[in-house]
Amino acid sequence: MPEASDKGQLRALLGASRTFLIGAAKITRPYGEPIAKAVWEPPVWVELKPKNQTVQCFEYLLSLPDHFPGKPLFLMFSAGYDWSMWLQDIPFGKAFEVARQRGFAPPCRRMRGMVFGKNTLSRLRPYFDFKLSELRWPDDPYGEKHTDDPAYKKPGKGQKAKLQVSRRITIVDTFRFSPKSFVETIKPLAERGLIPKDVFDTTSAKKKNVAVSIWRKWRTSRHTAGMSCTRFAASCI
């Protein structure tokens, strides 16, 4: 567990960072068709207020499956920093719990469990996925007192109990499929004209500045607590 001085440095590093706008858009692309021929639908935006941003983020994320009916696949690229910002209002210990890896005695593999919030369940696997669910009955997560309720879901075969959730979403970070950095990955898209040159140049400059700034602040630190959440050593606060 990171020491208090390290947590203080994390807060100083990211204290001024806030999320102001989140958006999601549907892209329809027939299998095998180039991305240039994909059909982009209007995005769904949410503008966040300064306080209680984690609550606002979670509510927006849980609403996305209703905006995109069917079986959409929610994808992001290099999402570690974004995910960490969504958890910014969660107490340090709880955020660390969301991201840490749990060990089980052999022959079980090392696993990551869901972490209970006030009315949510969440799990973050760096470079892999972020899972978020809303409990149907926060004071009775397994529905033991609501077995007669029509919304109650019975445990499956071999299950002793089943968590009762009303909404859920899984967001996959596709970064793990790319052997290159974010900038190097999008560079071919810019060369093909799919990303405006000014947008690519701005993104490249900002990514470089962020990496250099964080490295300078953390190079003398004994612990890199934020690595549990993001590759930029930032954020379980």
Q: Quote the domain boundaries for residue 178.
A: 4-228
Number of domains in the chain: 1
Question: Residue 16 domain-assigned?
Answer: yes
Predicted confidence at residue 163, as pLDDT, reads: 92
Question: Residue 11 domain-assigned?
Answer: yes
Question: DSSP for the chain?
Answer: ---HHHHHHHHHHHTT----EEEE--EE--TT--GGGPEEPPPEEEEPPSSSHHHHHHHHHHHHHHHS-S---EEESS-HHHHHHHTTTS-HHHHHHHHPPB---TTSPPB---EE-SSEEEEEETTTEEEEEEESSTT-TT-TT-TTSTT-----TT-S----EEEEEEEEEGGGG-SS-HHHHHHHHHHTTSS-HHHHHHHHHHHHHHHHHHHHHHTT-S--GGGGT-TTS----
Question: Residue 112 domain-assigned?
Answer: yes
Predicted confidence at residue 146, as pLDDT, reads: 95
Predicted confidence at residue 187, as pLDDT, reads: 83
Question: Residue 233 domain-assigned?
Answer: no
Mean pLDDT on 192-204: 79
Q: Assess whether pLDDT exceeds 80 at residue 107.
A: no
Q: Assess whether pLDDT exceeds 70 at residue 11.
A: no
Question: Residue 237 domain-assigned?
Answer: no
Predicted confidence at residue 21, as pLDDT, reads: 81
- For the stretch 191-212, what's the b/e string if a residue is b when 16 or more beta carbons lie within 10 angstroms of its beta carbon? eeeeeeeeebeeebeebeeeee
Question: Residue 236 domain-assigned?
Answer: no
Question: Residue 235 domain-assigned?
Answer: no
What CA–CA distance (Å, rounded) separates 67 from 71? 11
Question: Residue 187 domain-assigned?
Answer: yes
Predicted confidence at residue 214, as pLDDT, reads: 46
Taking the CB of residue 100, how many other CB atoms lie within 10 A of it? 16
What CA–CA distance (Å, rounded) separates 47 from 214? 27
Give residue 18's pLDDT band: very low, low, confident or very high (50, 70, 90).
low
Top pLDDT among 223 and 195 is at 195
Predicted confidence at residue 115, as pLDDT, reads: 84
Give residue 143's pLDDT band: very low, low, confident or very high (50, 70, 90).
very high
Say which amino acid occupies 187. K
Q: Assess contact for 10 and 223: CB atoms under 8 A.
A: no
Q: Assess whether pLDDT exceeds 90 at residue 3.
A: no
Mean pLDDT on 184-213: 74
